[in-house]
Structure 1
């Protein structure tokens, strides 16, 4: 059984690490498990469609952006705040009609369009009319705070439990343009995916895997310090004040009660439909869930 994560291994994947390390997978009959950690950006969802792997993690927006009839979301196991993080001085520049650069790990028309909408909505709430010509998206990688320190004005597709905490450690004066401050359906999360074909033939295995991840999340909630130790041992990373704080913030983002419900994620689809990112219908979207 293989699970591919969406990018580099980090605390967002702690339940998967704990489920393997604590034997929750083996206890549920899953003795042969491989966690696929890419060295570069890797489209696990495509491998899922092709039947090369059984599970994948990815953001809910990719369920919409890359929609395929084979996609089956088993629910959102991780959710944080996020969106665009911007230097306060750069927002002041926008107010003056100046141009800024936004670093982003995935630069394309659709994802850039979402980032632009978030910036515009935040601006509107502050009484500022921001023009698309003022925003330039620059393709980088996920190390958004690093790029902001090196000159970028903002980072798009940031997660608060990671880049938000890092910005605090760097004493950066930033604005968090998230679902609350900018007014949009929150999609800064990770779903657990399988394919419909695999699920239909292996319902018991899929349910057993989900139960193991849920048990791992419960373990993290009740034994956070041990979970941190497991993370460092598994990843071979050294404990640092920054990573310690990222781990602490991340443990508050997991939900052991996650389940495959379209109702929870429909607001995201409606938001993307509203801003013209997709024309995916609600009926098709709902078919990517069990309920």
Structure 2
């Protein structure tokens, strides 16, 4: 009887230990925690990661440029980055592969407070604030050309990420790079009525704004697929329960419980990929060509080298 009891106790401990031995996975964010990460936040809220046997450590970066490079160096399992950046990483030969998508819609826009500017072509002779060279310049040039103007018709001014303040102060007539779910809302909350022009409506190939990358050597690791399964659950629950999930987020992170974040949470929900694992190869090919045509990358890299669907 004692032996049976002891055996049962040992078996119970073994089962409990196995259940608690969740596989560790480190996810590096692209920036501090914010509504753009809602599907990940909700997956954690509802225990989806734990249900898949994962112990996910979510880490905001000290430097936004570091997360993909940490994955490339195998110092983190996954990182959130941007599809445009992924093409540059591929061109540089970094061993990074897109395995999932958070936001499958471009968030970048041109925003103005001038009602006479009804399309990008009306920006002739205007000052435009920007914060990132290269891609933003190519994007703006394409939008202008699509609408009967060119880069030579405008004056670009680097406002060092102070996009909305530069616009409201009248330092510039418009800005490029403001997100439709952040800066556009920020201006409305300040009592302004912004005109917003989406990049994909004016000749720029549509792209995935926020993606998840893994190291090429680790793509086949079972925990990567488990993460995506949990992310799908988080996305589905978020769409079904927007108010509940916001309230849980606001309660857990009171420092982020602001009207802007609340509105951004709701505004972002339709922008999240309904199937985070799905890959649109033609979209990646088109954007690769766009960057090559604008001389921002040196060569065309086949999609399968830097993006997969698990």
TM-score interval, smaller chain: 0.7 to 0.9
Distance verdict in 2 for CA 1:60–1:13, change over 3 Å: same
Distance between the aligned counterparts of 1:131 and 1:117, measured in 2? 12
- With 231-240 and 210-219 compared, the bigger mean Cα shift is at 231-240
> What does 1:143-182 correspond to in 2, within 5 Å?
144-150=163-169, 151-182=171-202
- With 5-14 and 270-279 compared, the bigger mean Cα shift is at 270-279
> What does 1:190-269 correspond to in 2, within 5 Å?
190-200=210-220, 202=221, 204-237=222-255, 239-259=257-277, 261=279, 262-269=281-288
SS in 1 for 2:298: coil
Distance between the aligned counterparts of 2:290 and 2:103, measured in 1? 20
Give the alignment partner of residue 128 of structure 1, picking from 149, 168, 172.
Answer: 149
SS in 1 for 2:212: strand
Distance between the aligned counterparts of 1:113 and 1:121, measured in 2? 12
Query: Which residue in 1 is equivalent to 2:98?
Result: 73
Distance between the aligned counterparts of 1:96 and 1:238, measured in 2? 35
Higher-Rg structure is 2
Query: Which residue in 1 is equivalent to 2:71?
Result: 48
TM (norm. structure 2) is: 0.79
Gaps (5+ residues) in structure 2?
A: 1-24
- Conservation of the 8 A alpha-carbon contact between 2:110 and 2:199: no
TM (norm. structure 1) is: 0.84
Distance between the aligned counterparts of 1:241 and 1:162, measured in 2? 11
Distance between the aligned counterparts of 1:260 and 1:289, measured in 2? 10
SS in 2 for 1:156: strand
Give the alignment partner of residue 85 of structure 1, picking from 102, 107, 110.
Answer: 110
Gaps (5+ residues) in structure 1?
A: none
Distance between the aligned counterparts of 1:207 and 1:133, measured in 2? 46
Shift of 1:254: 1.4
Shift of 1:38: 2.4
Query: Which residue in 1 is equivalent to 2:16?
Result: none
SS in 2 for 1:131: helix
Distance between the aligned counterparts of 1:226 and 1:282, measured in 2? 43
Distance between the aligned counterparts of 1:252 and 1:96, measured in 2? 29
Shift of 1:43: 1.8
Query: Which residue in 1 is equivalent to 2:203?
Result: 183
Give the alignment partner of residue 113 of structure 1, picking from 114, 129, 134.
Answer: 134
Distance verdict in 2 for CA 1:81–1:286, change over 3 Å: same
Distance between the aligned counterparts of 1:173 and 1:148, measured in 2? 12
The number of equivalent residue pairs is: 279
Distance verdict in 2 for CA 1:124–1:175, change over 3 Å: farther
- Conservation of the 8 A alpha-carbon contact between 2:125 and 2:154: no
List per-residue Cα deviations over 1:107-142 (Å, max 9, x = no partner): 3xxxx232223333333344334407722333x23x
- With 121-130 and 217-226 compared, the bigger mean Cα shift is at 121-130
Shift of 1:265: 2.0
| C-alpha RMSD of the superposition | 2.7
